[in-house]
A and B are shown apart, each in its own frame.
Chain A
């Protein structure tokens, strides 16, 4: 059974610092991995999707890496801003099915 863990559960940084969010998964037979952002009381917004054959994806200040063999992904957010404050979730889709298995999320607070 696939299990996804995100550490830390919460993170507080001053504005301008780089953010590093970690995600680990137990079954390396994944189809893809997705990073989402969730604002309080809102749904999920997809940030980046990395296919199993890829090592990283970039979008603006966001960069996500994937090391399938070690079961890890890292989301980097450069030069953080207060508007980056949200909960960040990673989710993996295994090759065997279509459902996403989510981690518990990292709650980020960027202080002005």
Chain B
């Protein structure tokens, strides 16, 4: 079956702009995760959804970052007033249930100029 998909694959934006990154999880997966990976580092946790609700948003760096999952499937990560330090690869993962193996998408490479 289809894996986790993320769009766009690449996004270049100017400092101060607003961006939205989309994640389509594996069909039927109730848990969805967002991570951010800076160059040469391991991914860092941002937020976790169980169904429609954010069960853990402790990794969001500040209030410019927000994520939604209104119907318990597709999720959108939203970044306001982008800064150059937001440049990274944003990875999405899903799992069939809380605590199960996480399957990762290919990521969205965000570049803020």
Q: A89 interface residue, CB < 8 Å from B? A: yes
Q: Is the CB of B45 within 8 A of A43?
A: no
Name the A residues within 8 Å of B40 (CB-CB). 104
> Total contacts A to B, CB within 8 angstroms?
61
Q: B106 interface residue, CB < 8 Å from A? A: yes
Interface band, chain A: 20 to 34
Could you tell me which B residues sit within 8 Å of A by CB distance?
A: 4, 31, 33, 35, 40-45, 48, 50, 55-56, 59, 91, 93, 98-99, 101-107, 109
Q: Is the CB of A99 within 8 A of B33?
A: yes
By CB atoms of chain A within 10 A, which of B35, B43, B44, B105 has the most? B43
Q: Is the CB of A89 within 8 A of B42?
A: yes
Cα–Cα distance between A74 and B93 once the two chains are bound (Å): 24
Given A102-B42, A102-B44, A104-B41, CB of A42 within 8 Å of CB of B55: no
The 20 sampled A-B contact pairs (Cβ below 8 Å) are: A6-B42, A34-B101, A43-B91, A43-B104, A43-B106, A44-B104, A46-B101, A46-B103, A89-B43, A98-B33, A98-B50, A99-B45, A99-B48, A99-B59, A100-B33, A100-B43, A100-B45, A101-B45, A104-B41, A105-B41
